[in-house]
Amino acid sequence: MPMKNVVITGIGLISPLGLTIDESWENAIAGKSGVSRVTRFDAEKYTTKIAAEVKNFDPRKYFDVKEANRYDRSIQFGVGAAVDALADSGFVITPENAERVGIIIGSGIGGITGIADTTLNLDKNGPRVVTPFFIPGSIINMVSGYLAIRTGAKGLNYAVVSACATSNHAIGDAFHAIQRGEVDAMIVGGTEAPIIDVAYAGFCSMRAMSKRNDEPERASRPFDKDRDGFVLGEGAGVFILEEEEHARARGAKMYARVLSIGMTADANHITAPPEDGDGAYRAMKLAVQYAGLEAGQIDYINTHGTSTGLGDVAETIAVKRLFLEHAQNGLALSSTKSMHGHLLGAAGAIEAAFTVLAIKNGIMPPTINLDTPDPQCDLDYVPNVARKKDIRYALSNGFGFGGTNASVCFGKV
């Protein structure tokens, strides 16, 4: 049986750059930063006091008041982005097609706010204060579960959890399910709401985050010589993936095709990539190979580009190893994390959305704050200003703690 073609027909974004897909994209192309001083909690006692927060989010747009109080912020983001993605696609789930629609919404750490708050409340006031909605309001697969109840979708339903590669893996699983003919459509993506004191305590102890507290908007600076760590972000990105003929039959608009995913493991270290970027190299190589392409046909890469010392260099080495002369002559890369920070399990979804929009609109978002390039990072990272380019094929990279790597390949419709 021939494999089916897969297209993206809807996108929902709730990000540090905006509460909608249009607002987020416009700010990304304008090179605006979503980083500022932390407002979610008092961060003054931490070495890092900045974050890329989602501003002015109102869960009552998607939930009634009782529901909004039951669910962790990560669930609120994920459901909201999914509702928006469905509206953007115009796809309607009915009793007739429900069994052919699946959902995979992942997260790196899920309902950490609800878990932390409930733990403190339990310790202070005892078990009687713990709400019966605590567990179902915090667990990672509840975005997928809640959406199934809300929409009636009865196909495969679960969550992916693979640190910062979560959303890439979710997209890959959904792509494969449609390719195999198991479903006609998928609601897929990632969500994260980690801006909380316990997460800051952990990341600060690892010395992983930027301490550029006096210049928040300039703190995330991938590939720059003066980078000093990543900036934590929050939000969600969700896509509607459909079998292409299914989408055409209903007259759906199509953003791009999903062509392949390459997945590897570093088998190296719990947090650090190998210096030669071997896992990233093999993930990109497999993505290009599985898409039936040559490396020279890739026009653009939305990098993992976290603004960390080891990670940015390793990814650059991996790109140069795979793309050879094309890496220096014709290939463009950028890290949108320079604007929206690192959304952990939702990072790949936000970045995949910007990759797809770059293909659709023929313009690449910039890597802002790239003022003094690291001599070891010597590629074209679209510094500081967006650039027009006809993009036929693009990769979106996601590499996570534990050494998990995933590179998704997208193509023009």
Contact at 8 Å (CB) between 391 and 362?
Answer: yes
Contacts by 286-290 with C-beta closer than 8 Å and gap 24+? 286/260, 286/262, 286/407, 287/260, 287/261, 287/262, 287/395, 287/407, 287/408, 287/409, 288/260, 288/262, 288/322, 288/395, 288/409, 289/260, 289/262, 290/259, 290/260, 290/261, 290/262, 290/409
> Could you give the angle at the alpha carbon of 304 between the alpha carbons of 302 and 309, nearest 5°?
130
Catalytic residue among 304, 340, 377, 409: 304
Between CA 115 and CA 164 the distance in angstroms is 20
The reply to whether 304 belongs to the active site is yes
Between CA 277 and CA 71 the distance in angstroms is 38
Longest Cα–Cα distance in the chain = 65
Cβ within 8 Å of residue 265, ≥6 positions away: 279, 403, 404, 405
Between CA 383 and CA 171 the distance in angstroms is 28
The reply to whether 340 belongs to the active site is no
Query: What single-letter DSSP state applies at residue 57?
Result: -
Residue 400, SS3?
strand
Between CA 360 and CA 14 the distance in angstroms is 20
Catalytic residue among 164, 204, 377, 409: 164
Catalytic residue among 169, 342, 377, 409: 342
The reply to whether 246 belongs to the active site is no
Tokens of 229: 């760590």
Residue with tokens 């002015």: 56
- Paired residues of 15 in beta bridges: 18
Between CA 240 and CA 340 the distance in angstroms is 22
Provide the annotated active-site residues. Answer: 164, 304, 342
